[in-house]
Amino acid sequence: MKTKNIPKKTIVIRESLFIKSFKLAKSNPNKVGLMILFDLLFLFSVYALYRISLFLSIFIIFSLIYYLTILFAYSFFKYIILDYIKSLFEKTEISFKKLGQFYSLNIIIAGIFFAIMFLANFLLASIKPEYRPFVFIFLAIPYLLFLYVIVNISHSSFYQGASIKEAVKKSFRIAFTKMKIYRETILIMILLALALWLLFFGSGYLIRLLASKNYSLYLNTYAYFKQASIIVFDLVFYLVVLINRISFYDIIRENK
């Protein structure tokens, strides 16, 4: 009696988007190093502009020109970083022909979210003072998350050929209707934040147990621990942001 061969089902496990982007970054250390360099140059330019504004007049800090200058510096360095991200996937040659449009895109996004923040201010003002901190947290978390997603999607869309209008529309559409395709980028940030919080909480509790009998030792140890915690958190958070930039670019490539 012949037995029929039953075809075996192959199980395909999709590689994590974050892991995929991390491997891509790891295999291109020179390009990633330059991305980090341009991020540092942006921070330096912000600090330099702040010092110049203090030298000229303290009131310029609150002027529109100051913030537009900061936004242009951000647009300039982010534009270069996007070119290096693009070069991870294909050959590219940087051109600054669309830098002005990219700057305009960032002004539009900043204007939209500033208007939302302005309206939220009115909402908070109408709420009883004792409830304001809770409502603020309730509104601020999704606000910042959607801002983060929309900025990254619009930038990646624009650098892949979309117009300003198309990039803005696509970023809002994906952010609110296609959360599934980018949820991993947000989840990895939340999970790492929780993991770091547990690590720091446990370490802080251990320091308190070991040094509780010597108050001066406890204060000195905790001060160093606090500084180290801030540095570690900032470095890990930046690493996630850096990898997520690659992930968002890849998401837009796959969902044109």
Q: Is the CA virtual torsion 246, 250, 255, 256 positive or negative?
A: positive
According to DSSP, residue 15 is labeled P
Identify the pLDDT of residue 58: 56
Cα–Cα dist 225/167, whole Å: 43
pTM: 0.84
182: helix, coil or strand?
A: coil
Enter the tokens of residue 119: 């309206």
Closest CA to 156 of 214, 236, 86: 86
Looking up tokens 């837009």, which residue turns up? 252
Residues 6+ positions from 251 with CB-CB distance below 8 Å: 17, 153, 156, 181, 182
Express each pLDDT in 202-230 by its tens digit.
777 777 777 667 767 777 777 787 888 88
**Could you tell me the sign of the dihedral formed by the alpha carbons of 107, 250, 240, 196, in that order?**
positive
The continuous run of DSSP H or E covering 51 comes out as: helix 29-56
> What is the per-residue pLDDT across 131-158, written as a single tens digit (0 to 9) for each?
888 888 888 889 999 999 999 999 999 9
In order of 21, 98, 127, 134, 231, the CA distances from 16 in angstroms are 9, 32, 42, 34, 27
Cα 154 to Cα 56: distance, rounded to the nearest angstrom: 35
Tell me the pLDDT band of 56, cut-offs 50, 70 and 90. Answer: low
Contact 104, 164 (CB under 8 A): yes
